[in-house]
Amino acid sequence: MESTRQGFDFTAAMALLCQDIVERSLELQHIDMQRIALSVSQTRQDVSHGMYASLTPLRFESGARRKKLRGIYWEVPPLLDDQGNEYLYLLSFYLPRFQNTSLEEKLSTVFHELWHISPAFDGDLRRHAGRYYAHGPSQRDYDAHMARLAQSWLGRNPPGHLYEFLSLDFKELIAEYGRVFGRRWPAPHLVRC
């Protein structure tokens, strides 16, 4: 994928990939990619451990705009696209760390983050029963489920040009395109209201 500027637009490529994933995966068809801000963040160190990606909900439980904590109401300031439409989630990829994993790990990571989106698509997270609401009682089972979803998507024969960039590591991506860039969104912070 090329851009009008020289280089590889990582967030544009991820937007196309994620759109295809949600269209081909029955379990994710509640997701509207137009309401998800995609971002790249640079990792401080080029090491293999740490976060590869994150999904930040931009609303509270059940899509509430405000939450009372210790007697004070808080809200997340709206994150708006260029036309003034409000995003409900922020999906961030940490480079080069994310790009330096295997193709299978990258795809599982994408499914992992998209799966966190509430089936109600209300700006909140998908909540599992019990105290481990984000991943359920077993992180291993959660990760295995994401790997199966990724393999199922690949089995539906998506166009190779949508994910071929994931077969490259970060240095190979730079060698191919000259540079890698993408949209950067600041991490949202709660504000008192």
Structure confidence by residue, pLDDT tens digits, 10-33: 999 999 999 999 999 999 999 999
- Where are the chain's structural domains? 8-192
pLDDT at 6: 86
Q: How far apart are CA 79 and CA 187, in angstroms?
A: 10
Structure confidence by residue, pLDDT tens digits, 149-180: 999 999 999 999 999 999 999 999 999 999 99
pLDDT at 127: 75
CB 180 within 8 A of CB 74: no
Grouping H, G, I as helix, E, B as strand and the rest as coil, residue 24 is helix
Does the pLDDT value for residue 5 go beyond 70? Answer: no
Q: How far apart are CA 103 and CA 45, in angstroms?
A: 21
CA-angle at 35, arms to 31 and 38, nearest 5°: 100
